[in-house]
Structure 1
Amino acid sequence: MIKIGVMEELLEIVDKDGRIISIAPRSLIHGNPSMLHKVVHVLVFNSKGELLLQKRASHKDVAPGKWDTSVGGHIKPGEDILTAAKREMLEELGVVPENLRFLYTYIHSNEYESELVYTYWTVHEGPFDFNKNEVEEVAFWSIENIQKSLFFDFFSDNFKQEFLRYLSIYAFIPFSFAYSLHELNGSPYLSGDPNFLKNFYR
């Protein structure tokens, strides 16, 4: 019988379509890539089209000290995906997003863990009151600088996969980040439905 600490985080183990198989403590899931679990990411851009990255704290068990996706975290058991995205933005960056748009989902797997990732997109200029217990610093990076730095040991493996997926799907879409989110709401490429393009990106 598994003994779970009082404050141990519980996560849903799911199949590739997000259907729940069971629930287990984080300490059991991390370190076992056979246990697929759900996480949410948010790509936060500014009006210049620069992408906000966070530098993970040195004590993190995954990718310590590496630059990572703007926002990322586990989805709690029974939690709605969009609710999780908003919660993580508040917890990590100290801001409440006015508008989040769903982009895609994918599976990220390595020798340590396997994640079913749901990625959202938004525009926010800051300032950010980021969680200093989890994040060392945040900074906006141009897409060009990220591309030039991919071959250096700056980024988490998860972010590299995220960034390349984003570019492969959305780099061809001709829209300006100076547009307001209200003007972008009608775009079929920025659907709020997590099932949008489900067969396209898998």
Structure 2
Amino acid sequence: MSTTNGLKSTEEHFDVLNEDGSPKGFAKARSLVHRDGDWHRSTHIWVFSNEGEVLVQLRAAGKDTFPGRWDVSAAGHISAGDNSLPSATRELEEELGVKLEDSENLHLLTTVKASAVGSTKKHGPYKDNEIQDIYVYKPKTTIPVDLMVLQSDEVDRVEYWPWQDYRERCMGDDQLLVPRSPMYKQIAFPLLDKVASGST
């Protein structure tokens, strides 16, 4: 795996993809990927309680994008050379302190594409084109919020919400939530409905 400039950098690198998810065969620094709008992969993990509630996180106030908004339980980009499932497992542990002892309950639900443009104080304009692997984690026993160890620079708070409450607020473009792409709502939400209802 080579980088575009051949230089070593402490900045995280992502594998650059074609829009269909196939690899282009090289990696680029995170800032360049977002500057140039390159397709890259990320993971989203939705944690559910036994009662069908979904865990949502309040993004830290210092986050570069969507600070102080409610988001998916855990999420992160997939670093260059890494694979999806180990990345999802690592995000759960890093952001929430949740170590998987029953990894069979973490499964890939679907994959969607999402595109967004914007600007941040730290990095300026960005074009974020992601292929998002969406996972569901429904442990045998609901994980209490007060036992989670939150990554302070990423997450301010976590709460369990009724799935339908989250869904309705997101479909209504509630500005207190991180927005989800049209494809996410069309493809992933019906599948997450089934998880919340216990039919999967």
Q: Same fold (TM over 0.5)?
A: yes
SS of aligned partner of 2:50: coil
Contact 2:115-2:130 at 8 Å conserved across structures = yes
In the TM superposition, residue 173 of structure 1 has moved relative to its aligned partner by 7.0
In the TM superposition, residue 110 of structure 1 has moved relative to its aligned partner by 1.4
Identity in percent: 27
2:62 maps to 1:59 = yes
TM-score (normalizing by structure 2): 0.78
Contact 1:4-1:25 at 8 Å conserved across structures = no
Counterpart of 2:108? 102
Contact 2:53-2:196 at 8 Å conserved across structures = no
SS of aligned partner of 1:136: strand
2:33 maps to 1:29 = yes
**Aligned-partner residue type, residue 93 of structure 2:** L
SS of aligned partner of 1:158: coil
Counterpart of 1:11? 14
In the TM superposition, residue 155 of structure 1 has moved relative to its aligned partner by 0.9
- Aligned with 2:138 (options 123, 140, 149): 123
State the distance in 1 between where 2:47 and 2:192 align: 15
**Aligned-partner residue type, residue 117 of structure 1:** Q
2:78 maps to 1:75 = yes
SS of aligned partner of 1:157: coil
Counterpart of 2:124? none
Mark the CA change 1:121 to 1:31 in structure 2 (over 3 Å): closer, same or farther: same
Question: Is the strand fraction higher in 1 or 2?
Answer: 2
2:139 maps to 1:136 = no
Contact 1:68-1:158 at 8 Å conserved across structures = no
Mark the CA change 1:49 to 1:172 in structure 2 (over 3 Å): closer, same or farther: closer
Range that drifts further, 24-33 or 79-88:
24-33
State the distance in 2 between where 1:149 and 1:160 align: 14
**Pairing of 1:113-192 with structure 2 (within 5 A):** 113-124=128-139, 125-126=142-143, 127-150=147-170, 151=172, 152-158=174-180, 162=184, 165-171=187-193, 176=198
**Structure 2 gap ranges (5+):** 118-126
Deviations 1:70-123 (A, max 9, x none): 110011112121111111111111111223111000101012311010011111
In the TM superposition, residue 5 of structure 1 has moved relative to its aligned partner by 7.2
Q: CA RMSD in A?
A: 2.5
SS of aligned partner of 1:167: helix
State the distance in 2 between where 1:26 and 1:32 align: 10
**Aligned-partner residue type, residue 51 of structure 1:** V
